[in-house]
Amino acid sequence: MVTPRTTCTTPAPLRRDPTRDALYRVGPVRVAVQTDHPPALAHLGDFYCHADTGLPWWLVRGTLAEPPPGMRRDPGGAGYRADERERVLHIAARRPAVLQRALRQAVREVMLAHCETRRHVMIHAAAVRRRDLLLVFAGTAGAGKTTLAVDAVVRHGFDYVADDHLILYRDDQENGGGLVATGLPTTIPVGIGTYLGMEDVLPPPWDARGVNLDSYRGWPAETHRALRGRVHYTFASFGQPHPLVVTFGRGRVRVVVVQPERAARLGPLVEGGTAADLQRLLATGWVASPLVHPVRLPYVRRTPLEVQADGQDVLGSLCARARMLRWAHTGRVGRLLTALGEPLA
């Protein structure tokens, strides 16, 4: 296992057939995909932006066929083999849905492998950007991060940067040692109650996950919080390119530790917050789970202690750069913007 090089020695594949070849811009890197199953590229287009130029860090080749002998199997049943010298990841699966999922995960893994070379940290926080303002909503599960981020996007003109998995790293090469923020390109799970409360401004879900939304219409609003179902969006659902990459230049950064007002121990919007508050929100379990993040690429991963140490460094820099706040919210960002002296749109 070796740490991947930071440049790719192989050129981007010739895009002779746009239904079979694609180049994606995934956060800070580019990933090429070739497949004999054209619907897979349409699926990937829901998650990643096409790139017109640039060299890929890795090429991912997907084949709709039974995995040949010698391929390893991921937890979803797809076969894979990584050619480190040529920097090509081969994936095969007999079922279209399995191949599409494996290709999507593989493209995401290339992005994370690159971020690993920058010793990134991931925290449980949503982030949105509007002009020179970056809002970070940090909190534990159920704190309302997604609700606030979606509200900021659909009602106040923000761009989605991250939903629950905010990636931060120090970019010595491109940003003079400054911080860079981006998001993990996964689906965005929106609770039924949040959806019903914003239905007039939300686009249709990318995947309703079998939830019959009609059956909940007409329920009293106070009962929505108890509903456990989720509908799923992608960042493209909101008409936005993704993943966005935000450098911490001269813009303003507001890190808000959030908690729903009904469970408030924080009180109203107050100044305060430390790197230790964010350190407790380090997301280390997600990438350690082979079920949600199968590892197919040969790269060195840090130990938990190394991640904790990098977290102290990166999150300390974030707190030094940002205005730190605590807020007990009701799911609407407008109150926060007003308190901060920001326009509502």
Over residues 181-193, the pLDDT tens digits come to 999 999 999 998 8
Distance CA 147, CA 141 (A): 12
Q: Given a cut of 70, is residue 82 above it in pLDDT? A: yes
pLDDT > 90: percent of the chain: 63
* Lowest-pLDDT range of 25-34, 248-257, 261-270, 280-289: 261-270
Residue 59: strand pairing partners: 32, 88
More confident residue, 1 or 139: 139
pLDDT category at 15 given cuts 50, 70, 90 is low
pLDDT of residue 268: 73
More confident residue, 286 or 74: 74
CB neighbour list of residue 188: distance below 8 Å, 6 or more residues apart:
146, 150, 160, 163, 232, 233, 234, 235, 237
CB neighbour list of residue 71: distance below 8 Å, 6 or more residues apart:
79, 80, 81, 90, 92
pLDDT of residue 101: 95
Q: Given a cut of 70, is residue 310 above it in pLDDT? A: yes
Which helix (H) or strand (E) segment is 226 a member of?
none
In the predicted model, what is the mean pLDDT of residues 138-144? 91
In the predicted model, what is the mean pLDDT of residues 282-293? 71
Distances (CA, A) of 137 to 10, 134, 329: 40, 10, 11
* CATH number of this structure's domain 121-187+234-339, picked from the four choices 3.30.1490, 3.40.50, 3.40.1350, 2.60.120: 3.40.50
pLDDT of residue 267: 57
DSSP 8-state assignment for residue 207 = B
Residue pair 259/265 in contact (Cβ under 8 Å)? The answer is yes
Distance CA 72, CA 58 (A): 19
SS3 category, 18: coil
pLDDT category at 273 given cuts 50, 70, 90 is confident
Q: Given a cut of 80, is residue 131 above it in pLDDT? A: yes
CB atoms within 10 A of CB 9: 9
CB atoms within 10 A of CB 207: 15
Give the tokens for residue 199.
Answer: 């239905």
Distance CA 16, CA 122 (A): 37
Give the tokens for residue 206.
Answer: 């990318």
pLDDT category at 60 given cuts 50, 70, 90 is very high
Give the tokens for residue 54.
Answer: 């640039």
Distances (CA, A) of 182 to 60, 169, 197, 247: 22, 9, 28, 9
pTM: 0.90
Candidates 257, 299, 270; CA nearest to 120 is: 299
pLDDT of residue 210: 87
pLDDT of residue 12: 45
In the predicted model, what is the mean pLDDT of residues 211-229? 77
Domain boundaries, the chain: 21-117, 121-187+234-339
Distances (CA, A) of 211 to 216, 218, 231: 10, 16, 7
DSSP 8-state assignment for residue 92 = E
In the predicted model, what is the mean pLDDT of residues 142-153? 94
pLDDT of residue 167: 96
Q: Does a cis peptide bond (omega within 30 degrees of 0) precede residue 185? A: no
